[in-house]
Amino acid sequence: MADEAVERTVARVGVAGHPYSSLLLPVPIVCFVGALLTDVAYQNSGGNLIWVNFSAWLLAAGLLFGVIAAILMIIDLARLPQLRGWWGWASFALLIVTLVLELINSFVHARDGWTAVAGAGLILSAVGAVLIMSYGWLWHESRYGLGVRP
């Protein structure tokens, strides 16, 4: 009986059994982790400014898709009561905190060359990468089995 209820829930969650917000989740994860990697590459390249440009573009793309994922997550939380547990709201809060942090990081990366990455930029990128990966883990490790077919 419980398996049948989970199967019905998964079937009406979204696309191919995944919540709608999960469709865009990989994009901000890849972008924010990529921004950290390009910041490290800038530090190790002796100041090649192309890496700062890569970081800025990755942050912009991650923010765009992260905001869309947050809107879809609100829709998922509103229409699926089984997503409204502590982990659902905690993962939503973590996503919002990450997006705000990465917006600040984007403003830091808008500065010139070395000041865009050295110190604050690199630290913000590292913290943002850890937060977005934590969000992904928390959202997909639901105890209700959503996001994966049983």
pLDDT tens over the chain, length 150 residues: 445 544 444 445 566 666 677 778 889 999 999 999 999 998 888 878 888 889 999 999 999 999 998 998 888 778 776 666 677 788 888 899 999 999 999 998 887 766 777 788 889 999 999 998 888 777 666 544 554 444
pTM (whole model) above 0.85: no
* Structure confidence at residue 17 (pLDDT): 63
* Structure confidence at residue 138 (pLDDT): 74
DSSP result, 39-79: HHHHHHTTS-THHHHHHHHHHHHHHHHHHHHHHHHHHHHHH
Cβ-based neighbours of 81, under 8 Å, separated by 6 or more: none
Nearest-5° angle of CA 137, CA 140, CA 142?
Answer: 110
Cα separation values, 132 from 78, 85, 117, 140, Å: 22, 19, 19, 12
For residues 141 and 147, give the distance between their C-alpha atoms in angstroms, rounded to a whole number. 8
Beta bridge partners of residue 18, listed in sequence order? 15
For residues 110 and 106, give the distance between their C-alpha atoms in angstroms, rounded to a whole number. 6
